[in-house]
Structure 1
Amino acid sequence: MTGILWLDLFVTVTIVGGALGLLARAVTGLARRLRRLSHFLDDWNGEEARPGVPFRPGFAERVALIEAELKPNHGSSLRDAINRVEQGVRRVEDGLASHLQQHREALLPVERLRGGAGAGETAEGTPPPE
């Protein structure tokens, strides 16, 4: 090296310290990623109940529960609830359409008596043919 003991010692300590710092940072980053992978695998596989932690089903069990909600089962699934809402909306739409049709039919004789929608127009709102 340089032949100066304190300078050689300083350079050696700096190099070893820097290498240890980089190694520590790499190990910390690897440990963080392994911990995240461990959490993912725990979520994927599920966890058994233990003191203070309830049972958590795994991915396959959760997907099966979701699929069960998407199929009709005569009343208690999400699909059945959506079907009931759709039927209710359809009834309201049909009732509204019927109600509006009744009003239109009731207004037709009045429009005929007035002679159309406006001066020089037919009941449909178009000019009369020449």
Structure 2
Amino acid sequence: MGAIDSAVAWSVAIVALAGLCALLWRVLRAVLRIADRVDQAWEDWAGAEARPGVPERPGVMTRLGQHDGQLEDHEKRITRVETRLPDSA
């Protein structure tokens, strides 16, 4: 009878350990997926260096600076057009 109790106890322990390992694996996979998304978001924000087969991607602040320059150019053009138009009022 003692051998059966011992076998049951070992079986329960092995199943519990396997369940704990499976749970840890799922948590680790979820954490790695989240970390990958955070890495992608950071790469979008900061930009990425060029590497073989992949062109450089500028970050958010660089792109905003480019847009600011374009806006200044558009403002100058609009001002030139406005100065050429007669006042209709």
TM-score band w.r.t. shorter chain: 0.7 to 0.9
Decide which structure has the larger Cα Rg and report it: 1
Q: In structure 2, what residue type is equivalent to 1:8?
A: A
TM-score by length of 2: 0.73
Unaligned ranges ≥5, structure 1: 88-93, 95-130
The aligned counterpart of 2:39 is 38
TM-score by length of 1: 0.52
In structure 2, the CA distance between the partners of 1:66 and 1:9, relative to structure 1 (3 Å rule), is same
Shift of 1:62: 0.7
The aligned counterpart of 2:85 is none
Unaligned ranges ≥5, structure 2: 83-87
Determine what percentage of the aligned residue pairs are the same residue. Answer: 28
If asked which structure has higher relative contact order (CA below 8 Å, sep 6+), I would say 2
In structure 2, the CA distance between the partners of 1:66 and 1:13, relative to structure 1 (3 Å rule), is same
The equivalences for 1:21-100 within 5 A come to 21-71=22-72, 73=73, 77=74, 80=77, 83=78
The aligned counterpart of 1:17 is 18
Does structure 2 retain, via aligned residues, the 8 Å contact 1:48–1:55?
Answer: yes
Q: Distance in 2 between matches of 1:59 and 1:78?
A: 22
Does structure 2 retain, via aligned residues, the 8 Å contact 1:69–1:79?
Answer: no
Instruction: Work out the number of aligned pairs and report it.
Output: 82
Q: In structure 2, what residue type is equivalent to 1:69?
A: Q
Shift of 1:7: 1.1
Shift of 1:70: 2.1
**Runs of 4+ in structure 1 over 6 Å off:** none
Shift of 1:49: 0.8
Does structure 2 retain, via aligned residues, the 8 Å contact 1:46–1:59?
Answer: yes
